[in-house]
Amino acid sequence: MSESTTTATLEISRETAPTPLAQLSMQQAINRALGEILESDDRALIFGEDVGVLGGVFRVTDGLQQRFGANRVFDTPLAESGILGTAIGLAMAGFHPIPEVQFDGFAYPAVNQIITQLARMNYRSRGRLPMQVTLRVPSFGGIRAPEHHGESLESLFAHVPGLKVVAPANPQQAYHLLKHAVSMPDPVIFMEPKARYWNKAGVNLTENVAGDDDRASLEGSVIARSGKHATLIAWGAMVSRCLQVAELAAEDGIELEVLDLRWLKPIDEAGLAASVARTRRAIVVHEGPHTAGLGAEVAALVSQSCFDTLRAPVERVTGFDVPYPSGDLEDEYIPNIDRILFGVQRVLEYRRG
């Protein structure tokens, strides 16, 4: 083999070789994304309760104040409305704030600022005051925390015009979707599933991708597992649980598709419809209460788009219509594998009339 041929072969090998993946937890992936955002955007600021010196309750911002200084990563008083008010004022002045609400249940005092100012300011000012704010919210349950330390607020935020809402399901998504969210001109509620903070997975740090498949874009939903008998629709920590269900169902010859919705506002209606049109059955799984939960909106969209092809009513497996419980009752509240499997069974066995 000639030297030129050998060189050409090596070049082809370099081009086709798979990109190495960094094994990171979601906490590490978000930390890395935040560091890169601060490096590339002088107007980006990170602040919230204990995010500076301590590095956050979950250590998501660990080391960032030491790297970038207390003027760009700083602690705030224990006042969520003040945190959001500060973020809104900074955005009006041209900064790109990335505030953190320490726990999802602590967001309630800031709802007034989020709904009446953050979500409306761009509209109210006819575009003169864009709100390039990314609010990080450690969300959902699964860590056996006290009351108000585990909530599922996606339906509240998704209902508000002017907000975008996203919930990553794994480290790869968390890394890329956070960077994408911060670059958006609109306010984004970034809901981080606390129960998945410490689960490690491969993260492609060189490509601008965010799905399990490297070809997936940063917008819309993604198929986490292909199937043909029914579609499990989930987001956040429930994606992992639905993948467990799909594995168990496969042992009985049932091929379940798992659709990771990711973006909860706007919802990927086309991707949702395409998946359910293939499987003809749908089960929506989420931690929030059943009544007026986001699953109801998903079910309505599926019924509207797939009415002629559905072979069963859309099933919902959700939390219950009670306040989100403290840790000792979480296992009874959060949809577990058995409850999801029963939902699958109901849609598979459904017979009309």
Spatial separation of the C-alpha atoms in residues 139 and 94, rounded to whole Å: 28
Strands annotated E in the chain: 22-25, 44-48, 73-75, 96-100, 134-139, 164-166, 188-193, 200-203, 222-225, 230-234, 256-260, 263-265, 282-285, 315-317
Let me know: does 263 contact 181? Beta carbons within 8 Å: no
Q: What is the distance between the alpha carbons of residues 20 and 286, in angstroms, rounded to a whole number?
A: 33
CA distances from 173 to 31, 82, 152, 350 (A): 13, 29, 19, 35
One-letter amino acid of 257: E
Q: For residue 239, give both structure tokens.
A: 């994606």
- Annotated active-site residue 149? The verdict is yes
d(CA 187, CA 125): 15
Reference 323, options 286, 285, 288; nearest CA is 288
End-to-end CA distance of the chain: 72
In angstroms, rounded to a whole number, what is the distance separating the alpha carbons of residues 119 and 133?
10
Residue 204 buriedness (CB in 10 A; 0-12 / 13-18 / 19+): middle
* Catalytically annotated residue among 96, 148, 149, 229: 149
Cis peptide before 109 (omega within 30 of 0): no
Task: Give me the sign of the Cα torsion angle 19, 25, 31, 34.
Answer: positive
Our measurement of the distance from residue 34's CA atom to the centroid of its chain's CA atoms, rounded to an integer in Å, reads 16
Distance between CA atoms of residues 324 and 150, nearest Å? 7
Catalytic amino acids?
149
